[in-house]
Amino acid sequence: MKKACQALFAALLLCALFAHAEPLLKVEALGDGVYALIGPTGGRLHENYGLNANYGVIDTPGGAILIDSGASTAAAGLLESEARKLTGKPVKWVINTGVQDHRWLGNGHFAARGAQIIALQRTTTTQARLGRGQIESLRPELKEQMDGTVPAVAPEAFAGDTRTLTLGGRTLELRYFADAHFAGDIVVWLPREKILFAGDHIYVDRLLGILPESNAETWLQAFQQAIALQPARIVPGHGRVCDAAQARRETGDYLAFVVAGTRKFAEEMAGVDVAAEAMQDAPAFRHLRNFDDLHRGNVNRAYLRMEAAQ
């Protein structure tokens, strides 16, 4: 009895804290039962449950669709609560747009509740390779929030580069263009509404990160194909809901700058330090959050990949 009372008190205290706190995810209604959940643009922290990214909720008569499942079972529970609050329905489908931890490590939470996990085989192949390492890398910061988190990929992933799906009369398309932030990243396109959930193809307000798993050249190609859909509204992987013009300025132009610059130095075999020094001044992008932390590393990794391909 005493333990039950203590648990109840803790739950009430947690509710009270959340009631007076700023919302972790800012909800933006995009019209016709489509919502963006906008996370913070900083790093993964215990305080933000690793939800430093954007997510989507789509209301249909057949149930709610959640785009991306969070970095842990704990984070998935928060997304589930938000989806039910917005739609009044359980999450029927969870679609994974990519491979970075906060895109998919919450899958197990939803699978245990009967939701269908949806992804392309390209995506699940990379998820399966990286999942356990991602969980361990998150544990020092997210601590107990990672308890029970397992790398649960979609059990019946779709072959091919595109897939059209319909739930409750709502049609959406999964589209793979080229390897981007990670191999196998995709976008979710709502053709009737002309809304693009871009996943990690597009960053605004903060600088994108070119990781060892990233390919800047093919990422630029994928970005260009995503923009060619002519979306009216874009939910980027990070940052505010935007239009194509902002996406070009803050993602497409930056990728083009990095690709063109590093290609020149790689072809000359000038060396990574020479390339990084020559490209360090990038005033068109310096206003983006994380520029000082990420830009030099982005140039380094893009250069090394290109030099290896020479």
Give the model's confidence band at 3: pLDDT under 50 very low, under 70 low, under 90 confident, else very high: very low
Would 287 be classed as within a structural domain?
no
Residue 25 to residue 66: CA distance in whole angstroms: 14
What type of residue sits at position 46? H
Residue 307 to residue 310: CA distance in whole angstroms: 5
| C-alpha separations of 42 from 52, 55, 238, 303 in Å | 6, 15, 10, 26
Would 57 be classed as within a structural domain?
yes
- The tokens for 63 are 């149930």
pLDDT of residue 65: 98
| C-alpha separations of 193 from 30, 34, 177, 196, 233 in Å | 9, 9, 21, 9, 9
Would 293 be classed as within a structural domain?
no
Contact (CB, 8 A) for 193 and 172 = no
What type of residue sits at position 135? I
Would 221 be classed as within a structural domain?
yes
Q: What domain range is 83 assigned to?
A: 20-244
Where is average pLDDT lowest: 5-14, 41-50, 61-70, 269-278? 5-14
Q: Tell me how many domains the chain contains.
A: 1
More confident residue, 288 or 17: 288
Say if residue 118 is exposed, middle or buried (CB neighbours under 10 Å; 0-12, 13-18, 19+). Answer: buried
Would 15 be classed as within a structural domain?
no
The β-bridge partners of 238 are 203
* CATH number of domain containing 109: 3.60.15.10
Would 285 be classed as within a structural domain?
no
Residue 146 to residue 113: CA distance in whole angstroms: 18
Percent of the chain past pLDDT 90, that is, above it, reads 91
Mean of per-residue pLDDT scores for the chain: 93
pLDDT of residue 310: 77
Contact (CB, 8 A) for 17 and 110 = no
Does residue 2 have a pLDDT over 50? no
Stretch 7-30: mean pLDDT: 60
pLDDT of residue 22: 67
Would 292 be classed as within a structural domain?
no
For 180, phi and psi rounded to 5 degrees? -125, -115
Q: How many CA atoms within 13 Å lie on the side-chain side of 94?
A: 32
Contact (CB, 8 A) for 192 and 185 = no
Q: What is the pLDDT of residues 226-260, one digit of tens each?
A: 999 999 999 999 999 999 999 999 999 999 999 99
Stretch 299-310: mean pLDDT: 92
Q: What is the pLDDT of residues 110-146, one digit of tens each?
A: 999 999 999 999 999 999 999 999 999 999 999 999 9
Residue 3 to residue 89: CA distance in whole angstroms: 32
Q: What is the pLDDT of residues 48-100, one digit of tens each?
A: 999 999 999 999 999 999 999 999 999 999 999 999 999 999 999 999 999 99
For 45, phi and psi rounded to 5 degrees? -130, 155
Does residue 31 have a pLDDT over 80? yes
Does residue 17 have a pLDDT over 80? no
Would 302 be classed as within a structural domain?
no
Alpha helices in 143-287 (DSSP H): 216-227, 244-247, 253-267, 272-278
